[in-house]
Amino acid sequence: MDWYLLSVVLHLLAAFFWLGHMFFWSLVVGPITKRFDPPDAGRWLRQTSMRYGGLGWPALIILIGTGAIMLMYRGVTMEQFISGQFFLTPSGRGLGMKFVLVAWMILYQLVVGHKPAPRLIYVNMAAALVIVGISMLLLRAPHVFGPHGIGLP
């Protein structure tokens, strides 16, 4: 059994389902239900959305758990992580940026969670978009986080 591959697959599935649900309901279903007349008409759809808004916590737990396993398989030790040595490498810098944004998303999940947040949800979605971009760059072009790329000097 390739545990690393299993972690990658679970990581991707959790990310796609969580973000897919968040983006589709916020950008597509939400604006449509706001056009309903009378306004109560969209309540059933929104209630359905809230019921499945609980996707956030399980997805976050899977993402953090599988992310930790993937780092371990890539040879990142706890000592390197705590001492900050890991964050001096190009991949470490990129991952550091990703962690800051993930921390924001956890904070959002803690403070806002399932409650309606008309403006903050867009900040959360922007953070998610950047996380997807950073993850892609970490896989395809980690050098961009180097001293001459977009990483910290």
Which residues of the chain form contacts with another protein (CB under 8 A)? Answer: 5, 8-9, 12-13, 16-17, 19-25, 28-29, 32-33, 35-37, 41, 44-45, 48, 52, 129, 132-133, 136-137, 139-141
Exposure string of 13-42, with b = 16+ CB inside 10 Å and e = fewer, is ebbeebbebbeebbeebbeebeeeeeeeeb
CB of 21 to another protein, least distance (A): 6
Q: How far apart are CA 99 and CA 105, in angstroms?
A: 10
Beta carbon nearer to another protein, 25 or 145: 25
Distance of alpha carbon 31 from alpha carbon 25, whole angstroms: 9
**Least distance from another protein to the Cβ atom of residue 55, Å:** 9
Closest CB 7 distance from another protein, rounded Å: 10
